[in-house]
Chains A and B, each alone.
Chain A
Amino acid sequence: MAILFTSAAQAHLVTTGLGPVYDGIAHFALSPKDLIAVGGLALLAALRGPTHGAWALFTVSLFWLLGAAVPGQALGLRVPTVVPAVVFLVVGGLAAADVRLPVSISTVLAATVGLIRGCSNGVALPGDRAGLLNLAGMTTAVFVFFALCIVLIFPIRSHLARIAVRICGSSIAATGVLLLGWSIRGAGSISN
């Protein structure tokens, strides 16, 4: 447990010089793990249909906010390295396999991903007004990025496009396998 949850923070925030809201947006935009996790969820939602997409859009943003604010910023809980790898593996694997999930399960998945990634980012946030604005920027970026992914992916309904989306999913899963391997080799290390 000591390895899983420590209070020391290593993560750092991006400074754009444009203020904390932009810093939060830039932090998300420059974090591959965040982009891949949210992008993977969007792929999965796009394969399943608009109801899944609508639920995932609001759920992932809301739980990102909660995860960053409560376990991340307020409690300082840190997510072990193995968790992002598992997130990639599960989200990418489900997209690659084109699994027909019910809406409730895909919503729970979006909530879990939002909570985990939000918590990972929340530990680096200062507990002042700048931290709150940073969090607002970050959550807005998650919402907008998910929505933009949906706009790009969803209208393409051809069979080939569906295969391309599944290939992207398998790439995410493969990234998860690699990360999992690295995290097991360096067992005990904690990262963001």
Chain B
Amino acid sequence: LAALAVLFSSALAFAHEIRPAYLELREDKPGEFTVLWKTPMLGAARLALEPEFSGDSVAVTPVTARTPPGAAIQQWTLRAAALRGQKLRIRGLEGSMTDALVRIEFADGTKWVQRLTGDETEAAIPMRQSGWSVARVYLTLGIDHILFGADHVLFVLGLLLIVKNRWMLLKTITAFTVAHSITLAVATLGYANVPAVPLNAAIALSILFLGPEIVRSWRGQTSFTIRNPWVVAFAFGLLHGFGFASALTSAGLPQTDLPLALLSFNVGVEIGQLSLVGLVLSLERAFRVLEIRWPRWAEVLPGYTVGSLGAFWTIQRVAILLGGAQ
């Protein structure tokens, strides 16, 4: 657990920008596409990302730009006789930690959805794309979002450190899953929205909250959280669900794509979460079977890592919140 906590906390340095860039091309007339290019803002600056096609394509209208909160949106019309078969590359993605979701809707009703990352900055636009490969894009986004979202991982690790038995573990993980699924769906379908800055501060607070509870649990003391971790998992799970939703809602996907995107993304999040829980439990059992005796500092390390990172993120995010308010 100590190794895992340190490993995941090291993800601080590599933390993903949770809001992906979003490129949408809609073929209004044969060979003519309306382009929507949405990039996240870092403070007052737009992320320096630009889409590029390998073949013939030319902008036939000037680029119009606007900057709603947290994003920059550019729109123009592109003429490309044969987009299928061309390679699309997002220039600047290789040097960033963000992803780009790409969606092209052709006049014949077919579409291509792809996720480009810092390690895979280009992709060929195929003649056809199956429904499964579209779902896979959102599925991997979901897995990636939880396994590289250090705050979500630490919260789940913190819960595992408090839970005492298998039945309580099942209840706690189920409560967290149900809660984050509810708010993920509510936010993605547009029924509720929480601004990113206070949400991130509240998520950090949920991790900080677990720190003292883990220490109490080691000392053999009890508290409401230690007796009923599933209640805490449910309550904070609602918050984390809004956090998961940011990966989908910030892109601004069209309504027609939402059911598949939501389902696949949520399945991805659950796969990631269950893999993490399974991994931690298996390792814990392996250490028990091998009768490994950890030094005291190694035993207390995960709890202090969870608490310290929770405190750090809380202070950092509250400072950003207060700075933004001023």
Contact = CB atoms under 8 A, between A and B. Distances in A.
A57 B286 CA distance: 10
B161 interface: no
A15 B290 CA distance: 34
A147 B283 CA distance: 6
A99 interface: no
Interface residues of B, number: 19
B286 A148 contact: yes
A150 B290 contact: yes
A130 B285 CA distance: 31
A151 B291 contact: no
A15 B279 CA distance: 22
B144 interface: yes
B42 interface: no
Given A18-B144, A151-B282, A54 B290 contact: yes
A54 B291 contact: yes
B120 interface: yes
Interface in A4-54: 15, 17-20, 50-51, 53-54
B291 A50 contact: yes
Interface in B88-131: 117-120
Contact of B7 (A19, A53, A140): A140
A57 B140 contact: no
Given A50-B291, A54-B290, A154-B289, A147 B119 contact: no
Interface string B143-186: 11000100000000000000000000000000000000000000
Nearest to A56: B290
A54 B292 contact: yes
Interface in B260-307: 279, 282-283, 285-287, 289-292
A155 B286 CA distance: 10
A19 B119 contact: yes
A18 B292 CA distance: 33
Contacts of B292: 54
A151 B289 contact: yes
A140 B140 CA distance: 20
Nearest to B120: A17
Nearest to B148: A19
A101 interface: no
A142 to B, nearest CB: 13
A151 B7 CA distance: 22
User: What does DSSP make chain B's interface, helix, strand, loop or mixed?
Assistant: helix
A144 B279 contact: yes
Given A17-B117, A17-B140, A19-B117, A148 B282 contact: yes
Contacts of A154: 289-290
B289 A50 contact: yes
Interface in A49-81: 50-51, 53-54, 57
Nearest to A55: B290
Given A18-B144, A19-B119, A53 B283 contact: no
Contacts of B287: 147
Contacts of A140: 7
A147 B291 contact: no
A155 B285 CA distance: 10
A20 B289 CA distance: 31
Of B143, B148, B289, most buried by chain A (CB within 10 Å of CB) is B289
Given A151-B285, A151-B286, A20 B119 contact: yes
Contacts of B285: 151
A19 B116 CA distance: 11
B143 A150 contact: no
Interface string A131-142: 000000000100
Contacts of B143: 18
Nearest to A133: B14
B290 A155 contact: no
Nearest to B292: A54
B120 A147 contact: no
Nearest to A58: B292
A130 B14 CA distance: 12
A81 B286 CA distance: 33
Contacts of B120: 15, 17
Contacts of B148: 19
Given A53-B290, A147-B286, A151-B289, 7 more contacts: A15-B120, A17-B117, A19-B119, A19-B144, A51-B291, A54-B291, A154-B289
7 contacts: A51-B291, A54-B290, A144-B279, A148-B282, A150-B286, A151-B289, A154-B290
The 3 A-B residue pairs with the shortest CB-CB distance, nearest first, are A147-B286, A54-B290, A50-B291
Interface of B: 7, 117-120, 140, 143-144, 148, 279, 282-283, 285-287, 289-292
